[in-house]
Chains A and B, each alone.
Chain A
Amino acid sequence: MDEDGETETGAYIWEGEYEKTWEALREDEAGSIQASVDDIVSRAKRRRLLERPADIRLGMMRHLFVVIDLSSAMTDQDLRPTRQHCTLKLLEGFIEEYFDQNPISQLGLVVTRNKSAEKLTELGGNPQRHITAARKAVDMACSGEPSLQNSLEICMKTLRYMPGHTSREILIILGSLTTCDPGDVSKTIKELASYNIRSSVIGLAAEVRVCAKLCKGTRGKYGVILDECHFKDILMQHVSPPPAATNTESSLVRMGFPYHQLSANVASGETPSMCMCHLDGNEEQGFGSKGYFCPQCKGKYCELPVECKSCGLTLVSAPHLARSYHHLFPLDASVELKLSNISAEVSHCYACQVRLTEQLLYQCQKCQKFFCLDCDLFIHETLHSCPGCANKPPNQALNDSVNNRNNT
């Protein structure tokens, strides 16, 4: 659709036929349409999974700033209970998912209101700190106008000094249709592009030209929400690592794998000590013998991943890196087939043993096993490995893939 509201055929939308969207929904015997709503949602999910391009280098170590608009437009009640509440609640879920999928990445929060911007939390890798700050932000008063340029400047001040191999990103959640800037936003956009900082915007109201320009100039994504579910969808899309910029440096990062100790070995003279993460606090939290010891300076930490305060070494554990491996070895999409078209005798889903009654099945291309819709979604979104392929010994899997390539 172009700007005058004309469709491709040249007619205006109101001149076309009615779109009977209610006919897409079907009631089942109990009168509930939950089944068809679920069906539509899962189809949309599958379509999105297929759209993700493969074989692209991803920015795995991410430094992301989330800018939250707290202007007077956020008191609007089109999202329940107010836009501000809804945004911050979804943001908590986003923060958890983000650190779950990108354990070696960092996040920071910035708010903008009254024509200025302030940093809520510094860039860091501890999810609890950000979630607490987001919860406190619900009580902050919304007033004034947001300032796009000021918030971008604040983020840029920190992000420009981040190492070159990381992916620097800004995500702006903007509810207002205006922005009040001290200078020329285009200059800021050019500066962002020169530092390789990828800015994406999620608009809550309508499409704004300056945001579109910002996203286009920095190769980010611009989305405008329709309702709360769509908001959650768009927000969660930013959890997966984005494609890396072409001039991102690649380097070998020096990291430590600390030794975990459950209890002190009193015989060799080890005593309980204070951990480095709780040194500043007044509570007794962190005193004990349990913890992770930095291999370089033997400083004690309660949780990983963390950057050692005394020697600057990034400390991670092997499972943290393993959590990101599924982005690098993504699962191929499965093929949708009709039950009636299949020649082989298939009565049960391979994974969950449920009897296949519906018309649609999903088949893995590599191991040729059939799955039901629920299992297919579960495998692609959560499990990230196909049960059929995991049950094949390595040399047999190799033979099968060679056969498949010869047949096709």
Chain B
Amino acid sequence: MQTESGVDENQLHKCLDSIMVFCNSHLMLNSENKLAVLASHTDQSKFLYPKAESATAAAPPSVEPREDVISMATGEESNDSMFSRTNGPGSCGEGKQTSSDGRHELLAQLDDSLIDQLKEMILNDSSQDNILRAETMLAGALALALCYIHRMMKEHTKQGLKSRILVIKAGEDSASQYLPFMNAVFTAQKLNVPIDACLLGKDSGLLQQGSDITGGIYLQIPNPMGLLQYLLWVFLPDADTREKLVLPPRVQVDYRAACFCHRNLIDIGYVCSVCLSIFCHFSPICSTCQTTFKIMGRPGKAKKRKLLPK
């Protein structure tokens, strides 16, 4: 069965494999690295890992941060990959059943949790209409990630925690998410969290702006089969190491605004002083806030008076 992007159904399975290898490598780089994975669907976002601890389940074995290593490492956390894809009806590959003997406990937990939660999310897809939509709740997932980072930073103030966000995106931009997305980007800038973007499909203007403002890397992958190589090469090193590497060049971001009336990109526009909406030509009434404006005509014209009939 073809998914919306017209590739074979094993695409999702292969992408998920690459992402799992990437997550495992991140955790193996340093024993104090931490990871969180979110998935962003068309109508919800969810934490795939770590699973929220329930009161009845046994506490998962936690990795104690070793005090003696603090001085070397900077305890880096990669608050990781929101993974959005086109909403194909139940096109997940078969989850491989691997035994937990011989695997590192943490990595085994991560892999199993990812697969199980993702399966649950796809099987419980509760969209009422059967329209395939390509827009995902990216801004919502970013907001969840930032709250999680904020909580982790508070818990680890002694050691110091440097976080970053990696977005792996195949879907399209959603215009209705502009405002929460920009709020999330400015918050990330304030918290010094770079937002990296790995695009499997079309270019995303929102993510270009977001990664430029926060100082992250934006990359559109020409060949989705090589996803793992790009992930390991470009996105795995942390912020300090990146300065020493030769990475893909910065993308030129178009910061021009789109006018509210036609959605065209404009060079010079008129901004309403009350609601800050942007228009491409002068109009006497602002369409957003209904304020009337003074007409700035030439002084000569204003003085012309009609002769009243006597």
Contact = CB atoms under 8 A, between A and B. Distances in A.
Contact of A257 (B135, B176, B256, B283): B256
A379 B294 contact: no
Nearest to A260: B255
A388 B43 CA distance: 11
B29 interface: no
Interface string A305-321: 00000000100011101
Interface stretch (A185-193, A225-233, A347-355): A347-355
A387 B268 contact: no
A166 B273 contact: yes
Nearest to B250: A262
Interface string B22-54: 000000000000000000001111010010111
A382 B184 CA distance: 9
B247 to A, nearest CB: 15
A262 B255 contact: no
A257 B255 CA distance: 7
B118 interface: no
Interface in A204-263: 244, 249-262
A390 B137 contact: yes
A252 B288 CA distance: 13
B228 interface: no
B269 A255 contact: yes
Nearest to A377: B150
A259 B139 contact: no
A390 B154 CA distance: 24
A328 B187 CA distance: 17
B267 A259 contact: yes
A355 B253 CA distance: 41
B144 A387 contact: yes
Nearest to A354: B151
B266 interface: yes
A328 B276 contact: yes
A385 B60 CA distance: 32
Contacts of B177: 390
Contact of A352 (B42, B150, B266, B273): B150
A396 B43 contact: yes
Contacts of A390: 137, 139-140, 143, 177, 180
Contacts of B213: 319
B148 A61 contact: no
Contact of B147 (A249, A355, A387): A387
B123 interface: no
Nearest to B273: A165
Given A351-B147, A374-B151, A387-B147, A253 B270 contact: yes
A353 B52 contact: yes
B65 to A, nearest CB: 18
A321 B296 contact: no
Contacts of A321: 257, 271, 276, 278
Interface in A317-338: 317-319, 321-326, 328-329
Contact of A351 (B148, B178, B190, B278): B148
Given A353-B52, A387-B144, 5 more contacts: A257-B269, A258-B267, A319-B255, A389-B180, A390-B143
10 contacts: A251-B296, A252-B286, A295-B268, A296-B268, A318-B258, A374-B151, A382-B187, A383-B147, A387-B147, A390-B180
